[in-house]
A and B are shown apart, each in its own frame.
Chain A
């Protein structure tokens, strides 16, 4: 008799999603509100179940839940919940208020939860595809908009390529080790390493790097962020990033753990390229969603620094970084959603001129997120960078830390530009008031970002416990 309780969160998400689907089809008039409220409720229940869930290995070793997976799950719920709150008002105003969206979010979250707790290459791939497919549809949610459908299609085509690469990597690994179970693969790779497994490892890394949009596999990110409805971009910028990063960590430290020396250089390359590209390419952007896309590429680079260190302290640093980034990113997207002039969404940076004079709270919110992303103390982003750089230095990756410091100075320039436009430039009045939900997310995100310095220990201790659980 196995206990089902470690699987309860996933079960809640799956059943909840299907229930809402039935409800949405049968009760058309109240479908949107019911689906949104229901989806939030399901997420909360799943989060509660996750916090109460014990460690466990399920279904003959297909899934494994630990402190690490619960940490990642919590981040996913936070990101998805924020994205749902943000989408509610925005989707209605943009005429895309369909009840399918919250349902898709739930299925995407289910996929993420499954892939994060995967303990077998097969369950990994199933979870991975479930979240990907749900997100492809979400990107094309505004199906009458050329930009949105183009974004959805681009995401789908490139995503399918990445899935193909991942699957190829998985099949090579299976072919050369004869098993798909994580512990078994790790055991076999501990001895003589077949070359085919190394090729498989490379393909797996590429497939996952695509999902976290690490350079040079980032090409889809700016287009999709820009083209997708902003509420969907807000989702892309938070939950899937955290999930894919956690999966990346668990795959490379789990089955490929013995190959640390082989994958470490790959992660270093990804980190350097992402940081450099994120910092330099963002300078010329004029659209704030594209700017946030490049910024997210850069941030994944910083998070990968801790990963590349290959130590418990490094993984801890990466988890801290990703957690802080999810909050900042949700807050920044909430600000973008709040920018509306005379009923129309504003997306170019130049249009933000004069925001501080008219909506000081909103401008302060975005300024806080921008400064935090730039890594200026005393805001939370600084501590994320501090932890990853220290971990890198302790692991003997001093050049990586130096590159990180340099790119963050370059990056500070474009974050500062957004603040400059909001605060210093005179602009036309006419900004609309944001809805309470959006204001709530901005306020909460800003408070967490600002006050992290006062109480850093809960997150840091949790990340430390998660990193230890990851190392086994």
Chain B
């Protein structure tokens, strides 16, 4: 059936559900079982992570196509099979998901109400996200792309901040509206090309005339999810109001779904349209980088500042994808991984501050380097990584994107690179306001340094940020084959199209 000899991908995907069942059936008063539920959730999320690491060791990076494939007869009459498999691109994102979920669970110490439901929702989210990243059938992909909404809606709405109801509804309706366009595109492709199997679709040319509107549909669907400017307006609300673990999952994992969608569907299936849309996407990316960075600079709340910084970095990812060069796309993917790690680190740090109980307004913090040295070191590390300092993961992603962009357009490269400078500006403002300056109140001066569980969440992230920064090859060698294949097919498709046009013009 596959290399592993047993359905490893299904196991990784659906194992968290076992945890959901276990947690849901626990009896007892909320306060008594909270600790037990937390441990059970953590354990259930660590097992898939271990399996994921094993999968990584067994993965053959030389193959560009899908590996560890599984297929199950599913919808009779519609000829749809439930198909999963991974290539290097999805493996990296699956690993990211598997890694971030335990971090999110660790950072959920502040959740004390309805703990059973909370951790069930987090584990459910993990299952759906992995199912989506491993789907090799368009319909399966669509189903889990949407399914992610359900647990996330509850996470924001039940455990979120004061404006949680508004934020949850906005998140839900924006994403639902966006994915509707994908459904339309999906049905069109299905009915006109006769299949939803992604591997087949990649080799089935779509008529150039239809490509443009299909691309617009994909742009709306994936753009909302990836928070591409100007479709990002749900994001600051959702990030700001969601509970910290929810924000971590949203920012580190869910925002990657949109970028992944572009890479998996838009770029390989619609070569002509994406080529035409390149200037547009560059513009959107550059605007996101510069305008949103400036917006971030104006924030007074730590969480919202990081939220905007996240949108700005998504702009870099979009620029990287639409360079259609090996460097650019690989840079975008490294940036996705790196952004996931860094933003998770920053939000965990935010959660640490929130747990100290003085709010997240920057003018009410300050001077924490003195009484929280451990925290200060780690926050500084993640902030520097977010600015793209060499030696951290942020640098690798950004430099690759800039090099990729330079091959295509000097100005895009320059303006996209400007994001690194602006990133320094707002991150340093934040670091100064939080770690340095004077203590704004006696309560702030009395903050205690990190607890064991907080170290447990931050240290692994810090290690990975440095790992990707110092030896990125452990991850990029997974991406080389699929990205090279992607770029090659793109160039070949455009070349054949141009030749065809020349034949017709003669």
Contact = CB atoms under 8 A, between A and B. Distances in A.
A93 B172 CA distance: 39
Given A360-B117, A416-B172, A424-B164, A409 B177 contact: yes
Residue among A357, A389, A464 with the most chain B CB within 10 A? A357
Given A378-B147, A390-B78, A424-B158, A360 B191 contact: no
A300 B74 CA distance: 26
A453 B135 CA distance: 15
Interface string A392-417: 01100000000001000100110010
A460 B187 contact: no
A229 B61 CA distance: 64
B158 A356 contact: yes
Contacts of B114: 356-357, 360
Contact of B149 (A364, A376, A383, A409): A376
Nearest to A402: B184
A441 to B, nearest CB: 19
Interface string A416-443: 1001100110000000000000000000
B75 A420 contact: no
A360 B172 contact: no
Nearest to A317: B77
A389 B180 CA distance: 13
B78 A420 contact: no
B104 to A, nearest CB: 20
Residue among B73, B113, B191 with the most chain A CB within 10 A? B191
Contacts of B431: none
Contacts of A460: 75-77
Interface in B117-175: 117, 128, 142-144, 146-147, 149-150, 153-154, 157-158, 164-165, 168-169, 172-173
B372 interface: no
Given A390-B187, A416-B172, A457-B73, A376 B157 contact: no
Given A360-B116, A376-B150, A423-B154, A382 B191 contact: no
B183 interface: yes
B216 interface: no
Contacts of B189: none
Contacts of B74: 456-457
Contacts of B116: 360
Given A424-B165, A456-B75, A457-B73, A377 B157 contact: no
B180 A405 contact: yes
Contacts of B147: 376-378
Given A357-B114, A420-B157, A423-B154, A464 B76 contact: yes
A424 B150 contact: no
Contacts, number: 78
A420 B169 contact: yes
A304 to B, nearest CB: 19
Given A377-B146, A378-B147, A457-B73, A423 B158 contact: yes
A364 B190 CA distance: 34
A371 B143 contact: no
Interface residues of A, number: 32
Contacts of B172: 416
Contacts of A195: none
A457 B76 CA distance: 6
A390 B187 CA distance: 8
Given A356-B117, A424-B158, A460-B75, A377 B143 contact: yes
B47 interface: no
Contact of B176 (A316, A357, A412, A456): A412
A387 B75 CA distance: 10
Contacts of B169: 416, 420
A424 B165 CA distance: 7
A405 B184 contact: yes
Nearest to A382: B143
B157 A424 contact: yes
B419 to A, nearest CB: 35
A193 B69 CA distance: 57
A460 B154 CA distance: 31
Nearest to B154: A423
Nearest to B147: A378
Interface string A428-472: 000000000000000000000000010011001100100000000
Contacts of A356: 114, 117, 158
A313 interface: yes
Interface string B320-347: 0000000000000000000000000000
Given A360-B117, A424-B157, A464 B184 contact: no
Given A356-B158, A405-B183, A460-B75, A377 B165 contact: no
B180 A409 contact: yes
Given A357-B114, A393-B187, A453-B143, 6 more contacts: A316-B77, A377-B143, A377-B147, A378-B143, A378-B147, A464-B76
6 contacts: A316-B77, A371-B150, A424-B157, A424-B164, A460-B77, A464-B76
